[in-house]
């Protein structure tokens, strides 16, 4: 089995490194200098400079080379460029090769999940999602963690479970692709809110409140879209939400932290060398919520801060002054 990974950012590189332990793996990088560095120095100096990558991991700037040799194709491209790259990759993909999405975002124009975009551009291919509380640096450091591979084909799920698993990473299977994707999208939005609270100087009670009520928002939307309630109590829901809302390594949490400190969203994003998916996805999440008749007040305030100029302080006030409700609502 040969694995092709499209996208040499921090998480794409990490998953490629994981796969390379179990199978020959080729990683697509846009820049020639980065591909050369991975092949000669076994490092990704752009995103993971402190880690040594497996000797078995190779990189190429040829999308055709990476895709045409793959028995499993992994897509690690940000949501805003996912369709374009998937469309190009589809030209070189052999029939029936499984495609695994790592992207926790929504396509802005269509509001589609990445598995849906994949099916649009790569019809006839089984589509899986790899998700969970997986911060790249901790995975590469060999810290114990768990992940979820979601696909409705048990045979493929079992093979992917073997491919991505390692002694320090336990991979579970789940047939709820919708729920796993919704969890991965919404947790990024809630992490921005959690970061804003920290940036304003608030503590653990506030974070716990946002995580818990954020989980309620995630679950309501996920069920409305066809996901399973149990998924949101698992690694793809609660697990990923806790990690992203709590970690200094989280890009979305970091964006929120700086918003809470009073910085402008344009300045924050301009300084980042990686995409914070929650910023781009939050309007799409809110649109889906309204389309499905789901109340998502935290998401609404994140959109207001990130896209409508509201201050983090005003957003928090708006949340706290909402009408009294039952916790079950």
Tokens of 178: 């919708």
pLDDT confidence of residue 117: 98
CATH number of the domain enclosing 106? 3.40.50.720
Residue 43 CB contacts under 8 Å (≥ 6 apart), including other chains: 37, 49, 51, 52, 53
pLDDT confidence of residue 328: 85
Beta bridge partner(s), residue 170:
146
Kind of pairing, strands 127-131 and 145-150? antiparallel
- Which of 112, 187, 280, 325 is labelled catalytic? 187
Are 237 and 167 in the same domain?
A: no
Are 78 and 171 in the same domain?
A: yes
Residue 260 CB contacts under 8 Å (≥ 6 apart), including other chains: 195, 196, 197, 198, 199, 200, 312
Are 94 and 229 in the same domain?
A: no
Are 170 and 228 in the same domain?
A: no
**Residue 131 placed within a domain:** yes
**Residue 79 placed within a domain:** yes
- Summarised one tens digit per residue, pLDDT across range 278-295 is 899 999 999 999 999 999
Beta bridge partner(s), residue 48:
44
- Summarised one tens digit per residue, pLDDT across range 179-228 is 999 999 999 999 999 999 999 999 999 999 999 999 999 999 999 999 99
Kind of pairing, strands 25-28 and 3-6? parallel
Domain C-terminal end among 175, 190, 222? 175
Range of the structural domain that residue 270 is part of = 178-320
- Positions of the chain with pLDDT under 70: none
Is 187 an active-site residue?
yes
Are 138 and 188 in the same domain?
A: no
pLDDT confidence of residue 198: 97
CATH number of the domain enclosing 272? 1.10.1040.10
pLDDT confidence of residue 51: 97
Are 100 and 39 in the same domain?
A: yes
pLDDT confidence of residue 272: 86
Domains held by the chain: number? 2
pLDDT confidence of residue 202: 96
**Residue 325 placed within a domain:** no
Are 276 and 149 in the same domain?
A: no
CB 166 within 8 A of CB 154: no
């Amino acid at each position: 089995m040969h694995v092709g990974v499209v996208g040499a950012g921090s998480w794409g590189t990490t998953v490629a490194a994981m796969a390379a332990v179990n199978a020959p793996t080729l990683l697509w990088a846009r820049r020639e200098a980065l591909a050369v560095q991975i092949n000669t120095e076994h490092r990704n100096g752009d995103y993971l400079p402190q880690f040594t990558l497996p000797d078995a991991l190779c990189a190429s700037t040829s999308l055709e080379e990476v895709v045409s040799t793959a028995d499993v194709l992994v897509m690690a491209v940000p949501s805003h460029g996912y369709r374009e790259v998937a469309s190009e990759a589809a030209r070189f993909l052999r029939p029936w090769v499984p495609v695994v999405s790592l992207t926790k975002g929504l396509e802005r124009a269509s509001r589609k999940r990445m598995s849906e975009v994949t099916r649009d551009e790569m019809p006839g291919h089984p589509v899986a999602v790899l998700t969970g509380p997986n911060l790249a640096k901790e995975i590469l450091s060999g810290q114990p963690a768990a992940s979820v591979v979601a696909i409705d084909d048990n045979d493929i799920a079992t093979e992917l479970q073997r491919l991505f698993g390692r002694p320090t990473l336990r991979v579970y299977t789940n047939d709820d692709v919708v729920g796993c994707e919704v969890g991965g999208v919404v947790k990024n939005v809630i992490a921005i809110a959690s970061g804003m609270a920290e940036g304003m100087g608030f503590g653990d009670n506030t974070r716990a409140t946002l995580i818990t009520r954020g989980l309620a928002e995630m679950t309501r939307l996920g069920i409305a879209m066809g996901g399973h309630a149990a998924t949101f109590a698992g690694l793809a829901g609660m697990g990923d939400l806790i990690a992203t809302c709590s970690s200094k390594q989280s890009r979305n949490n970091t964006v929120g932290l700086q918003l809470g400190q009073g910085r402008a969203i344009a300045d924050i994003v301009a300084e980042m060398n990686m995409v914070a998916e929650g910023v781009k996805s939050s309007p799409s999440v809110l649109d889906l919520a309204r389309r499905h008749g789901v109340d998502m007040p935290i998401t609404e305030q994140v959109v207001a801060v990130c896209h409508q100029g509201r201050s983090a302080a005003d957003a928090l006030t708006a949340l706290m002054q909402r009408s009294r409700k039952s916790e079950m609502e």
